[in-house]
Structure 1
Amino acid sequence: MKPARTARENAGALITAAGIAAAAPSVWQTITHITDETYRAPEARHGEGHVQYHMAREVLISAGAVGAVAIGVLAGPRRGRAMWRGMAAAAAGFTAAMWSGGPTTGVWAPNRQAFAIHVASTTGLAAGVLLLRPKGEDR
């Protein structure tokens, strides 16, 4: 018998989905940087396209992280502790990357809109994933 979805499960799924949706503009902008000639760095030691290579790598890592979170959401109430831990780690890594500029460059976001996207995405993913945490010791 399939476990019933609770109000907490429904709220967690909805809030997590909102966090993913909030991140979409940031990921899309990174995608556009891959082919943007202004992101070429002729002085880069590993070649002028090296920055774009890192943008492509970031997009693929983001797709994997968001995919892992989405799979955890879709698993519904049958999500076990191991799957939840995986989706929590993916969400934490994804959101930590958005904030990595602060300690490394002193710039937390390139503009107010980006900052708002980072806050909305981080808040949605963190709150949603926390609500989706399985209850009970047998999971």
Structure 2
Amino acid sequence: MSSARQKAGAVVTLAGVTALAPSVWQTATHITDETYRAPEARHGEGHVQYHMAREVLITAGSVGVLVMGVLAGQDRSRAVWRGMAAAAAGISTAMWSGGPTTGVWAPNRKAFLVHLASTAGLGVGVALLRPQAGHR
């Protein structure tokens, strides 16, 4: 893989991770926000907050995979790249899951732009980092 493509892929992937940060922070702050409790929830009023905590932790693990993949540089194997692709796809799918499930793609314009920037950065960046055919 060319050095220019490698650098561009790393920069764009890390830009996607950076763009993701406000959304993850927003979700993390809801975990302890009493207004996000749902007394009518069948599994208890804190169940929604539990899911937010789980989402934050899963996203943190996915971001870890992406960063480790970027740091692997030229030594990135196809298996590591596949892990990066799965992590980016999972994060991006979660970002946009509200649309088909609730009819709300993002709660406001800023959130929509965060979702768009992080999805684009992760998708393009990881695509640029894909090992060429014949690479282990």
TM-score range, shorter chain: over 0.9
Whether 1:97 aligns to 2:94 is: yes
Give the TM-score normalised by structure 2. Answer: 0.97
| Correspondence list, 1:1-139, <5 A | 6-139=3-136
Matched-pair identity in %:
73
How far the C-alpha of 1:77 sits from its partner, in A, is 0.9
Using the alignment, how far apart are the partners of 2:68 and 2:2 within structure 1? 16
| TM-score, scaled relative to structure 1 | 0.95
Unaligned runs of 5+ in 1: none
Q: CA RMSD, aligned part only?
A: 1.1
In the alignment, residue 57 of structure 1 is paired with which amino acid? R
Residue type at the aligned position of 1:49: G
2: distance between equivalents of 1:15 and 1:59? 22
Q: Which ranges of 4 or more aligned residues in structure 1 deviate by more than 2 Å?
A: none
Equivalent pair of 1:5/1:76 in contact (CA under 8 Å): no
Deviations 1:65-99 (A, max 9, x none): 11111111110011011110011001100110000
Distance in 2 between residues matched to 1:122 and 1:39, nearest whole Å: 26
- Which structure 2 segments of 5+ residues have no match? none
Once the 2 structures are TM-superposed, how far is the Cα of residue 135 of structure 1 from its aligned partner?
A: 1.2
